[in-house]
C-alpha cells in the first residue's frame, strides 16, 4: 500500500515536472535555444498564486484551482516579456547568446521575487482542499489527485491545440523548418512569441501546482530548470512526449530514492546519474529526434 | 606588446586612473568592499574567458569551481588555522584538479549536453556544500577564516585587501597570450572530436586559421586531451577567485569572514 501511495506522489510530482519540461520544449522548438529563465517562470507562477490568494476571502475555503486562469495569464505575459527582451533582439545571434540573456532574465526575476516576497518558502492554497480519502485501503491525497488531473487537462489541451488546429499546424511547421514556414506565409515572430507565452504559462501552472505541497521560494528556479533540462535530455532533445516521459522518470526516481534515504541524497544521485548517462551516451539517452540545432 | 593608442584605450586608462584615485583617497569602507569584490569577480571572469570566451564552451560550473577554492581556504583556514601561503596554492590546485578530472568526460559533450553536465556538476557540489555540515558548516557556512598574511604583511580589510586582490587580477590579465594559446589548443581538441561541440561563437577566427588543417583527427584527439587539462585554467582561476572570495562571497553581507554555499552563475 505504501508503494501505491508513493507512486501516486511520484505521479503528481511528475505531472508538475512534465508541465515544466513541455513548456521548456515548446520554447526550445520555436527558437532552437534554451530558455534559462524557465525555472524562474515556474517560481513566478507559484508566487503569482501566493499573491492572488491574498484576494481570496480566507474563511470561505475557496479552492485554489480558481487561481489557475489568473496564474496562466500573468505568466503568459511574463513569457511574452522574456521573448521580447531576451530572444527577439538577438534572434540572429548564435543560440548560446540566448542562454546568456535568459540566465540574466532569470536572475532579475529571482531577485525581484526575493525583494517582493522575501527569501522564505511560501505556500499557495491547495487546489481543491486538503486532506485525503481512502480508496481500496490506499490513502489518496486530494492535492496529489488534483495536481495530476490539472496537468492532464492542460497537457491534453496543448495536445489538441498542436495536433488538431490550424494554429498548431503552423506551430509545428515553424519548429520543423522555420525558413520554409516563413516562405509559406506563416508569421514566424508571432508563432515564436506564442511559444514563449504558452511555454511560460505552462511553467506558471506548474508553479501553482507545486507551491502548496512542495512550497516555493525565489531561489528554486535553478533546480527546476535543471530538472526540466534533464527531462528533455532523457526524453530526446526537442520531443514533447519524451519530455513528459523524462519528467515522470525523474519524479519516480526522486520519490523512490527519497523514500529509502533522504531528499538531498535523491537529488545528488539524480545528478550523478545524469552525469554518468552523459558520459556513456554523449548524444543523450535516446538521441535527437531532430538534427542538432541548439 | 605594442598596442596602438586608440580613444578606447585612453578612456580605459583614464577610467582606471580615476577609479584608483577614488579607491585611494575618497572611497568609504563600503566602497572599498565593493571595489575588492569587483576585483575578485575580475579574476573569476578572466578564468571564464578561457573556457567560454576563447574555447566557446558554455560551462555553467564556473561558480562551482569558485566555491571549491573558497571551501578549501575556508576549511583549512577555519579548522586547521592554515595561512594564506598554504591555502592559496591549495585552493587553486583543488579547483584545478577537480576541473581536470571532470574535463576528461565532459569535453566530449556537445553544446547543450555540455551545459547540462556542468550545471548538474555544480548543483551536485552545491548539494554537498549545503548537506555535509560537519565539514562545510552547511547553509550557515564557515566562520573564522583567517585573513591574508604574507610574512609580516597583513592584508587587512579595506585598502590592503583591495590592493592585493587587484594585483592578482592584473596578474591574471597578463596571461592573455597564454590564454589564447591554451584556448587554441583546447579548441582544436574539441574540433578534432566532434565538430563544434563547444558551440557558441567558438574561437576567434584567427585561431581557426592558426589551427593547421592537416592535423589528423587522431592527433586532434590527443591534443584534445592535453587541451582539456590546460583548458582547466578556468578551474584554476575560479579557485583563485574563490579564495579571495572567502569573506566576500555574495549573498551575505554580515561583516564576518565566512564561506557559505551560494550559487554563482
pLDDT in tens, A102-151: 999 999 999 999 999 988 898 888 888 777 777 777 778 888 889 999 99
Query: Hunting for cell 572567502 — which residue is that?
Result: B246
Query: How distant is the Cα of A255 from the closest Cα of chain B, in angstroms?
Result: 17
Count of helix runs (H) and strand runs (E) in chain A: 11, 2
Q: Which residues contact A137 (CB under 8 A, 6 or more apart)?
A: A1
Give dist(CA A92, CA B179) in Å, integer. 28
- Is the pLDDT at A16 greater than 90? The verdict is yes
Q: Which residues contact B233 (CB under 8 A, 6 or more apart)?
A: B47, B50, B51, B175, B179, B182
CB contact under 8 A, A34 and B115: yes
Contact B245, B66 (CB under 8 A): yes
Report residue B122 as a C-alpha cell: 555544480
B56-76 average pLDDT score? 89
| Interface predicted TM-score (ipTM) of this complex, two decimals | 0.84
Furthest C-alpha separation in chain A = 59
Report residue A288 as a C-alpha cell: 535527437
Residue B113 three-state SS: helix
Q: Answer whether A292 touches B (CB < 8 Å).
A: yes
CA distances, B215 to each of A156, B179, B220, B224 (Å): 53, 21, 6, 12
- Please, what is the angle between helix B62-80 and helix B84-106, to 10°? 150
pLDDT of residue B151: 75
Q: Which residues of B touch A94 (CB under 8 A)?
A: 199-201
Q: Which residues of A touch B109 (CB under 8 A)?
A: 278, 282
Give dist(CA B114, CA B116) in Å, integer. 5
A123: nearest Cα among A212, A234, A224, A235 = A212
CB contact under 8 A, B131 and A274: no
Residues 220-249 of A with CB under 8 A from B: 222-223, 226, 229-230, 233, 237
CA distances, B82 to each of A164, B16, B69, B96, B135 (Å): 68, 34, 14, 20, 15
Closest CB to B113 among A267, A268, A282: A282
Which residues pair with residue B142 across a beta bridge? B259
Q: Answer whether B132 touches A (CB < 8 Å).
A: no
Closest CB to B112 among A94, A223, A237: A237
Q: Answer whether B194 touches A (CB < 8 Å).
A: yes
CB contact under 8 A, A107 and B109: no
- Tell me: the pLDDT tens digits for A219-273? 888 889 999 999 998 888 888 888 999 999 999 999 999 999 888 899 999 999 8
**B257 φ/ψ angles, rounded to the nearest 5 degrees:** -75, 120
Contact A49, A258 (CB under 8 A): no
- Tell me: the pLDDT tens digits for B208-249? 333 333 233 333 333 333 333 333 344 555 555 554 444 433
Give dist(CA B68, CA B93) in Å, integer. 10
Q: Which residues contact A118 (CB under 8 A, 6 or more apart)?
A: none
- Is the pLDDT at B152 greater than 90? The verdict is no
Q: Which of A43, A96, A104, A232 to mutate to test the interface with B (most CBs of B within 10 A)?
A: A96
Amino acid at each position: 500500500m505504501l508503494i501505491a501511495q508513493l507512486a501516486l506522489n511520484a505521479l503528481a510530482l511528475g505531472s508538475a515536472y512534465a508541465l515544466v519540461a513541455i513548456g521548456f520544449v515548446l520554447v526550445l522548438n520555436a527558437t532552437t535555444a534554451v530558455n534559462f529563465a524557465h525555472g524562474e517562470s515556474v517560481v513566478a507562477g507559484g508566487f503569482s498564486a501566493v499573491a492572488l490568494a491574498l484576494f481570496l476571502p480566507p474563511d470561505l475555503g475557496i479552492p485554489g484551482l480558481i487561481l489557475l486562469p489568473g496564474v496562466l495569464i500573468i505568466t503568459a505575459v511574463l513569457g511574452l516579456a522574456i521573448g521580447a527582451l531576451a530572444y527577439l533582439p538577438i534572434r540572429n545571434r548564435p543560440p548560446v547568446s540566448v542562454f546568456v540573456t535568459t540566465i540574466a532574465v532569470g536572475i532579475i526575476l529571482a531577485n525581484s521575487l526575493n525583494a517582493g516576497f522575501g527569501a522564505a518558502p511560501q505556500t499557495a492554497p491547495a487546489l481543491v482542499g486538503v486532506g485525503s480519502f481512502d480508496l481500496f485501503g490506499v490513502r489518496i491525497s486530494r492535492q496529489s489527485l488534483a495536481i495530476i488531473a490539472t496537468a492532464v487537462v492542460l497537457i491534453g489541451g496543448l495536445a489538441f491545440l498542436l495536433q488538431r488546429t490550424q494554429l498548431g499546424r503552423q506551430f509545428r511547421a515553424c519548429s520543423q523548418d522555420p525558413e520554409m514556414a516563413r516562405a509559406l506565409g506563416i508569421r514566424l515572430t508571432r508563432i515564436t512569441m506564442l511559444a514563449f507565452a504558452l511555454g511560460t504559462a505552462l511553467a506558471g501552472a506548474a508553479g501553482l501546482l507545486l507551491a502548496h505541497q512542495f512550497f516555493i521560494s525565489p531561489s528554486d528556479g535553478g533546480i527546476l530548470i535543471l530538472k526540466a533540462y534533464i527531462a528533455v535530455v532523457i526524453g530526446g532533445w526537442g520531443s514533447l512526449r519524451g519530455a513528459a516521459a523524462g519528467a515522470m522518470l525523474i519524479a519516480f526516481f526522486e520519490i523512490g530514492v527519497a523514500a529509502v534515504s533522504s531528499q538531498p541524497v535523491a537529488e545528488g544521485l539524480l545528478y550523478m546519474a545524469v552525469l554518468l548517462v552523459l558520459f556513456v551516451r554523449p548524444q543523450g539517452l535516446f538521441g535527437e529526434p531532430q538534427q542538432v540545432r541548439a | 606588446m605594442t598596442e596602438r593608442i586608440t580613444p578606447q584605450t585612453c578612456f580605459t586608462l583614464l577610467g582606471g586612473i580615476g577609479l584608483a584615485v577614488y579607491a585611494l583617497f575618497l572611497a568609504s569602507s563600503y566602497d572599498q568592499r565593493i571595489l575588492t569584490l569587483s576585483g575578485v569577480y575580475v579574476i573569476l571572469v578572466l578564468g571564464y574567458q578561457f573556457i567560454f570566451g576563447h574555447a566557446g564552451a558554455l560551462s555553467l560550473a564556473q561558480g562551482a569551481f569558485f566555491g571549491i577554492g573558497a571551501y578549501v581556504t575556508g576549511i583549512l583556514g577555519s579548522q586547521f588555522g592554515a595561512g594564506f601561503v598554504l591555502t592559496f596554492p591549495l585552493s587553486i590546485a583543488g579547483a584545478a584538479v577537480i576541473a581536470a578530472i571532470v574535463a576528461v568526460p565532459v569535453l566530449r559533450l556537445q553544446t547543450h549536453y555540455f551545459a547540462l553536465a556542468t550545471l548538474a556538476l555544480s548543483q551536485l557540489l552545491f548539494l554537498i556544500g549545503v548537506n555535509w555540515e560537519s565539514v562545510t558548516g552547511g547553509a550557515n557556512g564557515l566562520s573564522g577564516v583567517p585573513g591574508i598574511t604574507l610574512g609580516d604583511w597583513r592584508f587587512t580589510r579595506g585598502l590592503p585587501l583591495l590592493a592585493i586582490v587587484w594585483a592578482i587580477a592584473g596578474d591574471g590579465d597578463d596571461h592573455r597570450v597564454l590564454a589564447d594559446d591554451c584556448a587554441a589548443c583546447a579548441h582544436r581538441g574539441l574540433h578534432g572530436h566532434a565538430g563544434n561541440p563547444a558551440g557558441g561563437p567558438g574561437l576567434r577566427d584567427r585561431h581557426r586559421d592558426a589551427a593547421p588543417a592537416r592535423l589528423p583527427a587522431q592527433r586532434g584527439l590527443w591534443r584534445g586531451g592535453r587541451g582539456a587539462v590546460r583548458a582547466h585554467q578556468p578551474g584554476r582561476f575560479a579557485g583563485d577567485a574563490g579564495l579571495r572570495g572567502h569573506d566576500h562571497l555574495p549573498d551575505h553581507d554580515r561583516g564576518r569572514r565566512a564561506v557559505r554555499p551560494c550559487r554563482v552563475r
